[in-house]
Structures are given as structure tokens and as C-alpha cells.
Amino acid sequence: MPSLQDVLNTDSDVAARTLLGAFLERDFEKGTAVVRIVETEAYDALDPASHTYKGESLRTAAMFGPAGRLYVYFTYGMHYCCNVVTGDVGHGAGVLIRAVEPVSGLELLQANRPGRKQTDLTNGPAKICQALKLDTTWNSHDLEKSPLRLILNPMLDADKIVQTTRIGISRAADVPWRFYIKNSPYVSRIVTNITNP
DNA sequence: GATAAGATTAACT
DNA sequence: GTTAATCTTATCC
């Protein structure tokens, strides 16, 4: 059984496909919630859209660490977003988790985002961090370990995956490194830009 | 020291 | 569809 680090020590666009369908298990005081990853985006050190493009900084240090760890950043003055680190140590790359769907422990997630419809609970990168209660103190957390574990599942068939350009970026906006599971009601937005329909 | 932009969301027209 | 909220970081005087 290969370790998480072994599987994710690869190009971030490959890892972004691999992570579709994977589970995240989050232990809270009141129980465990499980979610399934349905939308990802890849970022790489050679990619002008990546936080790591201009080299390592205090903020991005986690992305330069070993694969299979967490990178959480704070943005727009109020939101956190989480990534799975990929590639070699010293190479700043990772996969942004853009949307997940609840598998179990739904009420634990709802408690963190009260009043939201079920499909609005985790269909965006900052919503996921709210529902799973993640902030920058989780930077570099090893995803093999509780209370937040990443469990990989077999790679989905290519015909279940849709590939498009990434959302909410201005640089390298033409790079088709967004991936999501076809027909998932939890994907963060309607797609206008399908590369592999 | 000042300023602008940002891997977003929710509320509004 | 448009826009306010809100603050860290990078870049530019």
C-alpha cells in the first residue's frame, strides 16, 4: 500500500484528477464528518496563477513541503481555502479543493454553516473551510493523521471527469487545470468553458 | 509608508 | 448580474 505522500508526489494536474472522489474524514468533538471531493484545481511553481510562482514565502511554505499535507491560506480579508500539497519537497505545488459533497456527519457540517441549503454547504473553497473548521493553524497538517485524514479512492474513469479552465484567477486564465465530477450537484459553479465535454 | 489586488461569499437589484 | 465586506501580502513610491 503506497503512502499518501508517494501517490501525491506527482504533477499537480495529475494529482488533481486523482483526488476527485477521495474522502476527507474530519473528527470533531461531537463526532466525525466524511466528505467526498468533487471539484479540484491544480497549481504549480511554474504557473503564474500559483501563490508559489515567485518562490517560497512565509505564507506559502507548506506548499514547498512534502506531498500529502495541507496548505491553508487566508484571502479577501475573511476567507480560508485549503489545498493538498503535491510534488517534491522544495517544489511549490498543490491542489485547491474547490467543492466536496457530504457523505456522513451532515449535521456536524451544518452546525458550522447554519441556515445553508445542503447543496450550498460545501460547494466552494472557503465554504469547505468553514464547514470543516479549518484555518491557517492547519498549515502543513499531515493528512495521514487524525483529526483530518485524506482517504484516496480508485481513480475515476475519464468519462466521469470534466476539465475546464480555473475560476477566479486573472493570470494564466487559459490553463485548463480545473477538474470536477460530471453531474455533481455540489460543484461550485456552472461551467462556461468546457475543454473535455 | 501607501496602495492595489486577491485561488471568495452573500446579499442585493 | 453587481457589489460590499475585510485584511494580508506584494509592490511601488
- pLDDT tens track for A104-123: 999 999 999 999 999 999 99
- In angstroms, the first-to-last Cα distance of chain A is 34
Which three three-digit cell numbers place residue A87? Answer: 510534488
Share of chain A residues as helix, strand and coil, in percent rounded to the nearest 5: 20, 30, 50
Residue A63 pLDDT: 97
Please state whether strand B lies within 7 Å of residue A124 at its CB atom: yes
Residue A190 has what pLDDT?
A: 59
pLDDT computed for residue A2 by the predictor? 85
Helix or strand holding residue A26 (H, E) = strand A23-28
Instruction: Share the mean pLDDT of chain A.
Output: 94
Whole-number pLDDT of residue A1: 79
Q: For residue A79, which nucleotide's C1' is closest to its Cα? A: B8
Give A41 CA → B12 C1' in Å: 30
This model's pTM is above 0.75 = yes
Q: How far apart are alpha carbons A35 and A23 in whole angstroms?
A: 6
Confidence (pLDDT) at A196: 41
pLDDT, one tens digit per residue, over A51-78 is 999 999 999 999 999 999 999 999 999 9
In this prediction, residues A13-38 reach a mean pLDDT of 98
> Within its chain, how far is the Cα of A44 from the centroid?
14
| A155: its cell numbers | 481513480
Within window 61-100 on A, which residues have Cβ closer than 7 Å to strand B?
63, 71, 75-79, 81, 83, 94, 96
C-alpha distances out from residue A54 to A13, A15, A49, A182, Å: 19, 22, 10, 34
Residue A185 binned pLDDT confidence (cut-offs 50, 70, 90): very high
Q: DSSP secondary-structure letter at A157?
A: P
Biggest alpha carbon distance in chain A?
43
Half-sphere exposure of A50 (CA within 13 A, CB side): 30
Q: Is the CB of A50 under 7 A from strand B?
A: yes
pLDDT at residue A195 is higher than 50 = no
> A18-32, A65-79, A177-191: lowest mean pLDDT where?
A177-191
Signed CA dihedral, A120, A168, A174, A51: sign only:
negative
